[in-house]
Amino acid sequence: MKTGIVVPSGVFRRGAQVRGAALLAVAVFAVPAAGQGTAADSARPAAAVPSVVLSAADTVTAVSRPDRHTGPSPLVAADHWAVRAARRAEALGWARDYLPAQAAVPRHAVADALEQAAHAAPAGAPRDLARGWLGRFVEEFPEYAARRGGAYRSGAAVHAEYLGREGRLSPTIGYSQDRQDPRPVPDLHTPRLRGEAGMGAGAFALWAEARADRRGVALPRWEALAGVGAFSLSAGSREVGFGPGVGGAVVLFPGDPLLRVEAQTARPVRLPGFLRHAGAVSMHLFTGPMRDPGRHPDQAWLWGARMAVQPHPRLTLAANRSSIFGTAAEPITAFRVARMLAGVIVHGDFENQIASFDGRWRLPTDAVLPATVYAEVGADDGAGAFDEMPGVVAGVFLPAIPALPQLALGAEYTRFAEVCCGHGPWYFNASQRGGWARLSRPLGHPLGGQGWEALGYAQAELFDSRLRVEGRAFRRERSGADLARRGGANLFAPQRAGRSTGAALDTALRLGRVDLRAGGYRDEGDGWREQWFHLGASAFIHE
């Protein structure tokens, strides 16, 4: 294995933590037979941290901190402003042990991170920013205002908006000679009303979101949860995503809701014995039916797992695996599933898996310019694919700019290597003809396979975080190669092959318990254009 993260000597006070983290990742995610698996501080306020060297005791204290919220906790979506604020707080060193198990984060974990940030941020503009986050969060989720035992009680929200979408494509179906070209998704222009409500009692909670527009009435998202100590068990329909990328991920990136059952850590834990040297640990495991007969006619299932370890408060390492499994030729049995989970070759027609490592390092540059670097490296099946045909997402995140802490900036580069060395193309599979996609969206990176993307993004929160502005700009190139020989190496070829340029802008103004929102997106290439826009308002209603 040639991939990895190089950390300068002297970063760790206890080398055993690094060895423990590596051992844990190998034990859980190594795939010995097929060669397909993975190997893979929030400390005090930035102004008070003289260097990167911090003791393991900091992590122990963070994991066992007694003043955190407890009980069942509905998830906050990955693209919600509060999840992005918590990410900034962690990158600034203001949030202790913020280590989500996946892209969607329990409300309790977000509340803990924003409360810690409000107390840990340096005086002046940084503290105003952090307290603005917390104030806006409490307006939206007032069960955290007086802590009320930290329990999730009840709440509701109503969202009214107008939505327009044009020019979308559904990823290709089929492989090699039976490949079908991507098909247009019907344009949509509609007013839409969404309502969400939830309630909790003791160790249990329910939450649901209903939607009504010109397509009819639907219940796209819902979940029933049980909280058991640091762990959460749930069943429902929600998005799932892994990895540190902002523009996309190698294995799973949040898209359409998935019907699934899952178990995850609602807050990081420390494992017993020698594995305690891995530091703080978070885990996520889910499975569910694809429910996509047009694309996956064999009624395939999807499963995924992620484990992240934090051997040092500034460093996070993780391993991710996911598979689409079950076909008419190789139906699902307990024996086949057990071998798949163990990483033993089952049969070429049973499953298609993708695996990756990712890492995130908060650089010891707080006094000059806070910065976090991150990367994910993955492989789509096949021994040796990590070296010979990797998919890579790498970026740098600046959570605050000197003299202007309200502004955060980032840059990210993605590349999926060309087909070579006997491997199949990214996100395609002969037995799973629907490819690494569900309904009209890729399960992994929106790029859709072979090609590259350069992305820049910015986030500004002004007037005590009442005004939020987020923007992105990107340049992409999707490959149109191998159409005749392999059926293509990109899920959107040939219609989207070649270069395109795009941008997105999202704004929101908070007035009490009302959000006024507007946003748009556009991606344009040679002879085609994809775009969407939305205008809306949200009102938060509570007991």
Q: What is the pLDDT of residues 306-338, one digit of tens each?
A: 999 999 999 999 999 999 998 877 888 888 888
470 phi, psi to nearest 5 deg: -125, 135
Mean pLDDT of the residues in the chain: 84
- Write down the pLDDT at residue 348: 61
Mean predicted confidence (pLDDT) in 261-283: 92
Confidence of residue 151 (pLDDT cuts 50, 70, 90): low
Q: Which range has the worst mean pLDDT, 252-266, 281-295, 326-340, 365-379?
A: 326-340
pLDDT tens digits, one per residue of 60-111 = 333 445 456 777 889 999 999 999 999 999 999 999 889 999 999 999 999 9
Q: Where are the beta strands (DSSP E) in 7-57?
A: none
pLDDT of 37 > 90? The answer is no
Q: Which two tokens stand for residue 316?
A: 């996070």
- Residue linked to tokens 């045909």: 389
pTM here?
Answer: 0.85
pLDDT tens digits, one per residue of 418-471 = 888 878 889 988 888 888 999 999 999 999 999 999 999 999 999 988 999 999
- Write down the pLDDT at residue 188: 96
H/E run at residue 409:
strand 407-416
Confidence of residue 257 (pLDDT cuts 50, 70, 90): very high
- Residue linked to tokens 């803990």: 112
Mean predicted confidence (pLDDT) in 167-171: 95
Confidence of residue 211 (pLDDT cuts 50, 70, 90): very high
pLDDT of 8 > 80? The answer is no
pLDDT of 502 > 70? The answer is yes
Paired with 235 in beta bridges are 224, 261
Nearest one of 103, 29, 6, 104 to 355, comparing CA atoms: 29
- Write down the pLDDT at residue 336: 85
User: How far lies 375's CA from each of 31, 298, 407, in Å?
Assistant: 21, 34, 22
pLDDT of 11 > 70? The answer is no
* pLDDT higher at 14 or 346: 346
Nearest one of 377, 283, 267, 271 to 20, comparing CA atoms: 271
3-state SS assignment for residue 433: coil
* pLDDT higher at 486 or 343: 343
- Write down the pLDDT at residue 153: 60
3-state SS assignment for residue 190: strand
Q: Which two tokens stand for residue 421?
A: 């060395």
pLDDT of 35 > 70? The answer is no
User: How far lies 274's CA from each of 18, 22, 271, 514, in Å?
Assistant: 12, 12, 8, 50
Confidence of residue 485 (pLDDT cuts 50, 70, 90): low
Secondary structure string (H, E, C) spanning 68-113:
CCCCCCCEECCCCHHHHHHHHHHHCCCCCCCCCCCCCEEHHHHHHH
Is residue 271 packed enough to be buried (19+ CB in 10 Å), middle (13-18) or exposed (0-12)? middle
Mean predicted confidence (pLDDT) in 232-239: 95
Q: Which range has the worst mean pLDDT, 59-68, 94-103, 512-521, 528-537?
A: 59-68
**Percent of the chain with pLDDT strictly greater than 90:** 61
Q: Where are the beta strands (DSSP E) in 290-406?
A: 301-312, 315-325, 351-362, 372-380, 391-398
- Write down the pLDDT at residue 67: 58
In the chain the domains, ranked by start, together with CATH numbers, are: 15-541 (2.40.160.130)
- Write down the pLDDT at residue 349: 76
- Residue linked to tokens 């999707």: 478
Sign of CA dihedral 44, 50, 53, 54: negative
pLDDT of 291 > 70? The answer is yes
Give the Cα separation of 158 and 156 in Å (integer): 7
pLDDT of 7 > 70? The answer is no
- Report which listed range, 256-260, 335-339, 383-387, is most confident: 256-260
Under 8 Å between Cβ of 51 and 66? no
Q: Where are the beta strands (DSSP E) in 424-486?
A: 437-438, 441-442, 451-462, 467-478
pLDDT tens digits, one per residue of 180-206 = 889 999 999 999 999 999 888 888 999
Sequence-distant (≥ 6) Cβ neighbours of residue 413 within 8 angstroms: 392, 393, 394, 395, 452, 453, 454, 455
H/E run at residue 280:
strand 280-289
